Amino acid sequence: MTPKTFRIKNFGCQMNVYDGERMAELLGDQGMNAAADGEDADLVVLNTCHIREKAAEKAYSDVGRLRREDGSKPLIALAGCVAQAEGAEAKRRSPMIDLVVGPQAYHRLPEMVAEASRGARPVDTDMPAAAKFDALPARRRAAPSAFLTVQEGCDKFCTYCVVPYTRGAEISRPWPDIVAEAHLLVEAGAREIVLLGQNVNAWADGDRGLAELIRALARIDGLERIRYTTSHPSDMSDTLIAAHGEIDKLMPYLHLPVQSGSNRILKAMNRNHTTDTYLAIIEKVRAARPDIAISGDFITGFPGETEEDFEATLNIVDAVRYASAYSFKYSSRPGTPAATMEDHIATETMDERLRRLQARIGEHSLAFNRSKVGCETRVLVERKGRRPGQMIGRSPWLQSVHVETDAQPGAILDLTLVAAGPNSMTGAVRRRAAA
Ligand code: SAH
Ligand code: SF4
Ligand code: F3S
């Protein structure tokens, strides 16, 4: 029986969320409806992430939980990066899975669902360069802050990371496609666009790079804010850095992962940058845009990491004064070079270092947030808060801002930041900015 309702569960990064939105649009085009909250769906798409073991295992435990009390089950599609990594093996691991579709093949989801409804168990983990985007329907819905994937894949091969294997080689979408999608997103209600790529700053079309693209998008009426993520230090060009001082709509926020503060570990990670080259980029970015919020990613307990290496990581956190940062303990991923390196670190040591790192990052986040108290700024309202009359939006520096207002998602408010916490700010409205 062909499913009438569907639910998509995203497990991964922002690009994974973008893929989830596109799959929802594809299924919607087939006349299927998203199942209401708490209601059973005929089709469940698990849009999985393979980056760390926990995320990957969660996908399989979720499959098991989809069995209904009466013993029946929805049609189950395994999508995303676990699907790519495991392919047909996934069907053997879990007989409940009806179809397996990789992140470069999901434009075929509707026909695969039809095949699965007839009892087949199709698998598609092909990686044709960018064919997917041409086969997707036009954008018709957008949140106030909308994601737009412009670049996919990764050629960097950091020794711990599965992304080059699950997402394939770096490819850039063509300029006109991106501009067209951005226009549709704005017509559909987006006020902010977040350009996405595993290595978004490697985006290029001919001799035009990300800075030129951002400049062109900034000319779209009704689009108020532009962001991009995630960048790699090796691709942080001077033109892109300069753009932060030149384009008003480009928000003062840069996510630039460093992973470790130890050059020995960076080398073992195959990161292609040192702490000095990284810090030099940060300095240039701050010269172009002094108030910029810097964020990053860290891994603790990479194989061979000594206490001294770890302390070097704490030092780079102090040197950069991150406004925010994500940190993870190293997770050994099958097939990656680091998995077979010597001196894997004990879990307790990784945990202890992660706690110390997060405490240090937290001090800097709080300091950054406190430095913005009293600041008059603009906030893009994104969603309802927990309390009645409370809304949550984002400051230019990507802080969550809680504010009492009757303004709806998509509104841009002129407000004063009046209080700071470790993870969010409180704002008081001065007036509603002209739309
Ligand atoms: N392309 C981006 C995002 C990669 S995945 C980048 O290069 O930054 C997001 C983060 O997950 C990485 O920055 C890294 O900090 C973390 N990560 C990747 N592989 C990991 C692993 N095997 N164990 C722990 N963390 C990992
Ligand atoms: Fe993974 Fe490194 Fe590529 Fe980022 S740059 S996706 S961490 S291999
Ligand atoms: Fe996860 Fe794939 Fe993104 S592995 S982090 S969903 S690219």
What is residue 433's predicted lDDT score, i.e. its pLDDT? 54
Query: What's the total number of domains in the chain?
Result: 3
Task: Pick the residue whose CA is nearest to atom 3 on ligand 3.
Answer: 13
Q: 104 is in which domain, residue-wise?
A: 5-124
Q: Are residues 157 and 288 in the same domain?
A: yes
With beta carbons less than 8 A apart as the criterion, state whether 298 and 265 touch.
no
- Ligand 1 atom nearest 51 alpha carbon: 19
Looking at residue 346, what DSSP letter applies?
Answer: P
Task: Pick the residue whose CA is nearest to atom 21 on ligand 1.
Answer: 331
Instruction: Indicate which CATH number applies to the domain containing 23.
Output: 3.40.50.12160
Q: Are residues 358 and 401 in the same domain?
A: no
Q: Which of 81, 165, 333 to mutate to test the pocket of ligand 3 (most atoms within 8 A of CB)?
A: 81
Q: Are residues 135 and 248 in the same domain?
A: yes
Residue 300 CA to ligand 3 center (angstroms) comes to 19
Among 371, 388, 415, identify where a domain stops.
371
With beta carbons less than 8 A apart as the criterion, state whether 182 and 148 touch.
yes
Q: Are residues 119 and 198 in the same domain?
A: no
Instruction: Indicate which CATH number applies to the domain containing 245.
Output: 3.80.30.20
What is residue 127's predicted lDDT score, i.e. its pLDDT? 85
Ligand nearest the Cα atom of residue 333 = 1
Ligand nearest the Cα atom of residue 53 = 1
pTM: 0.96
Strands 43-48 and 5-10: parallel
With beta carbons less than 8 A apart as the criterion, state whether 401 and 354 touch.
no
The neighbour count for residue 287, using CB atoms within 10 Å, is 13
Among 75, 109, 124, identify where a domain stops.
124
What is residue 2's predicted lDDT score, i.e. its pLDDT? 86
Find, among 253, 182, 176, the residue nearest to 220 by Cα: 182
With beta carbons less than 8 A apart as the criterion, state whether 296 and 255 touch.
yes
Q: Are residues 231 and 290 in the same domain?
A: yes
- Ligand 2 atom nearest 232 alpha carbon: 5
Measured between alpha carbons, how far is residue 171 from residues 16, 106, 152, 155 in Å? 16, 17, 5, 10
Among 124, 155, 176, identify where a domain stops.
124
Instruction: Indicate which CATH number applies to the domain containing 391.
Output: 2.40.50.140
**Ligand 3 neighbourhood includes 333 CB (under 6 angstroms):** no
Tally the residues of the chain: 435
Residue 94 CA to ligand 3 center (angstroms) comes to 21
Q: Are residues 365 and 423 in the same domain?
A: no
Residue 411 CA to ligand 1 center (angstroms) comes to 33
Q: Give me the residues of the chain with pLDDT under 50, please.
A: 435
Q: Are residues 301 and 168 in the same domain?
A: yes
Q: Within 6 Å (CB) of ligand 1, which residues are found? A: 51-52, 154, 160-161, 163, 198-199, 230, 232, 257, 259, 297, 299, 328, 330-331, 333
Q: Measured between alpha carbons, how far is 266 from 257 in angstroms, rounded to an integer?
A: 12
Residue 277 CA to ligand 2 center (angstroms) comes to 18
Q: Are residues 233 and 94 in the same domain?
A: no
Q: Are residues 200 and 327 in the same domain?
A: yes
Residue 158 CA to ligand 2 center (angstroms) comes to 5
Q: Are residues 194 and 238 in the same domain?
A: yes
What is residue 37's predicted lDDT score, i.e. its pLDDT? 87
Q: Are residues 14 and 68 in the same domain?
A: yes
Q: Are residues 233 and 86 in the same domain?
A: no
